[in-house]
Amino acid sequence: MSGTPLSFNLVEHLLPGQRTLIDEYMAHDLAISNAAVSYGSETLTGATGLIIADLTKRTSNLSVTGAVAFTLPDGTYAGQEHEFVCTVAASIPVGTLTVTTPETAAGFVCGAVFVFNVVGQSIKFKWSGTKWRCIAKARRGTLAGIVGGTTVLTGHSMVNNYVMAVDGTDAGTGEGGLPNGSVPGERVTITCSQADNIPAGSLTGLYTNLLGTAATICGAIGVVASASVVGDIAVLEWNGASWQAIYQAGVTFS
């Protein structure tokens, strides 16, 4: 059999209205696909004040010099992820990230503010459809010189080590208490670098002691008979609801 091969164009043989429906479906599908693709990275410097993360990017690299502010806006589709990584930290760095709509459901509670001040700190969020959940975090660095009752710790949940300088009775409560974790498995330490004038340091928080009993105070920090209290330490792991004591020496939970 010779001649021009037969061809069949489905679009030309659609019933009235069917082509319009297909066009509308394809346009809708393309729009969803385009919205769902977040890729590449951006660098946020905070140089012009409050900087909003671009959610068409997968990652926001934070260049923190001095005091700068960033914000994570609401997501655009369920399952969307966005990560923040501190790539520069200079000149007494304090990079404050505000989450517009953090998760509040039990077991998934996300903080509203995160402070970046050490290179390598990172945190990843996932949009549930209505709120941001934290799904991964890398802590780095030490927050030294904490004075109970004076130092505000709200948002300082990106460091590994909290070091208290105890002078007399120093009790960190409310905004001065230990911030909650974001992801099960996070570990932190509370240590002491100074103890003067009948020292008695403490930090309120959500704790579980080595016996599995709930507690709200990590205390007796700096309370020792010897002149040195550098050995006072509590190693803690976030279990999704509280800081579980993994190891302790010189401190108490109550």
- Spans of all domains in the chain: 34-138, 141-254
Cβ contact 59:82 at 8 Å: yes
Rounded to two decimals, the pTM is 0.82
% of the chain residues with pLDDT over 90: 73
Q: Dump pLDDT digits (tens) for 164-192.
A: 999 999 999 999 999 999 999 999 999 99
Burial class, 107, CB count within 10 angstroms (exposed 0-12 / middle 13-18 / buried 19+): exposed
Cross-strand pairs, 237: 187, 244
Report pLDDT for 24: 44
Phi first, then psi: give them for residue 193, nearest 5 degrees. Answer: -110, -15
Q: Dump pLDDT digits (tens) for 119-169.
A: 999 999 999 999 999 999 999 999 999 999 999 999 999 999 999 999 999
| 81: pLDDT strictly greater than 90 | yes
Phi first, then psi: give them for residue 54, nearest 5 degrees. Answer: -90, 110
Report pLDDT for 47: 65
Q: What is the DSSP letter of 183?
A: S
Report pLDDT for 102: 97
What is the CATH topology of the domain spanning 34-138?
A: Jelly Rolls (2.60.120)
Q: Dump pLDDT digits (tens) for 200-248.
A: 999 999 999 999 999 999 999 988 655 556 678 999 999 999 999 999 9
